Amino acid sequence: MAEEADGHPSGGVGVPGGGAVGGGGGGAVKTRKPDNTAFKQQRLPAWQPILTAGTVLPAFFIIGLIFIPIGIGIFVTSNNIREYEIDYTGTEPSSPCNKCLNVSWDSPCTCTINFTLEHSFESNVFMYYGLSNFYQNHRRYVKSRDDSQLNGDNSSLLNPSKECEPYRTNEDKPIAPCGAIANSMFNDTLELFRIDNDTRTPIPLIKKGIAWWTDKNVKFRNPTGDGNNLTALFQGTTKPVNWPKPVYMLDTEPDNNGFINEDFIVWMRTAALPTFRKLYRLIERKNNFQPTLQAGKYSLDIAYNYPVHSFDGRKRMILSTISWMGGKNPFLGIAYITVGSICFFLGVVLLFIHHKYGNRNTKAVGRYYEG
């Protein structure tokens, strides 16, 4: 076989990328070399900070001087929020609700707890119910709903999603609303009274305006049809297993009934942690000259319908005011103060080290170059 002067066969030299160099194929030469661009050849302009005492020390002091006042302001604001909490689970034998501890879904119980507010609640008051050891963040629980049904889709009303199993149908009828979230809806009833000279005066509790606007007006809608006759709209469906009444009987007011009932909407927004609170009612301030809730004696009437003892849960009622930063939460202020204090302390330590050893290093470098 004929060979060229360099010792290679005349057919050309093979390359890893495929094809041959010097052959008669005539095809384009393939190569693995990146394109000659600034990005692929890593010639883009770059900036790298040079950390010196003149840049690091001011940064630590500035962060400390900014974060510490912000943290103090947030912490003071949080402490100015009034909050009062009552645990009415009834696990203690002396609790008025102990008789209701083993209540079931179909055997309601009532109890009354008297309490005293030591300080007045000046601004609007928000009443919450709180649950503990209730894992609304469980994957199967979170998925157990049909958003199309909740959005008023008529076909999904009669044929719910299979994600709702085992709360999809009951007695061969589709459940509305279907799923485990709706089936476990909180259904205790809380009423607040002020006691003056053994006279109980009811505190007006507002049940509207507790849900997110987008939930109320976008995500949740009743089935299409005659909006004034919810009984007809939900015909052919049945109530969730644990509910005492169907969804179209949640309220007497048409704009707060069915899927757009605000108590129902609030419950359907699942919590991320096993201990949570959800907004139950609003107590609006009547005038600027009187506090919303004056200091004094009050009583809480509870229709104890929601069983929690079986999973070692607890139930609470919380009265709270709010501020520009929301509800009572001292953690954010403490976090700011902690980070600011650490930065300021590190700045002082590094300044001391630089002052004591920085000049020595500079003189040593100078002597090195002089020598």
What does each C-alpha distance from 179 to 185, 309, 313 come to in angstroms?
11, 22, 21
Q: Which of 125, 51, 94, 39 is nearest to 319 (CA)?
A: 125
Predicted confidence (pLDDT) per residue in 98-125, tens digit: 999 888 777 779 999 999 999 999 899 9
Terminal Cα distance for the chain, rounded: 70
Under DSSP, the state recorded for 66 is H
Structure token digits, residue 29:
């030469």
Q: What phi and psi, each to the nearest 5 degrees, are found at residue 10?
A: -70, -10
DSSP states along 311-366: GT-EEEEEEE--BTTBS--HHHHHHHHHHHHHHHHHHHHHHHHHHHHHHHHHHHHH
**Cα separations in angstroms, 112 against 3, 132, 279, 316, 338:** 107, 21, 21, 13, 43
Structural domain boundaries of the chain? 55-81+324-355, 87-322
What was the pLDDT predicted at 340?
A: 97
Query: Are the C-beta atoms of 239 and 247 separated by less than 8 Å?
Result: yes
pLDDT at residue 364, rounded to an integer: 54
Q: pTM above the 0.75 mark?
A: yes
Q: Per-residue pLDDT tens for 5-61?
A: 444 444 444 444 444 444 445 556 778 888 889 888 888 888 888 888 888 999 999
Is the peptide bond preceding residue 174 cis, with omega within 30 degrees of 0?
A: no
> Comparing C-alpha atoms, which of 362, 349, 347, 366 is closest to residue 67?
347
What are 164-216's pLDDT values in tens digits? Answer: 999 999 999 999 999 999 999 999 999 999 999 889 999 999 999 999 999 99
Are 255 and 266 in contact by the 8 Å Cβ rule? The answer is no
The DSSP result for 35-57, as a single string, is PSSTTTTT-S--------HHHHH
- For the chain, what is the mean pLDDT? 88
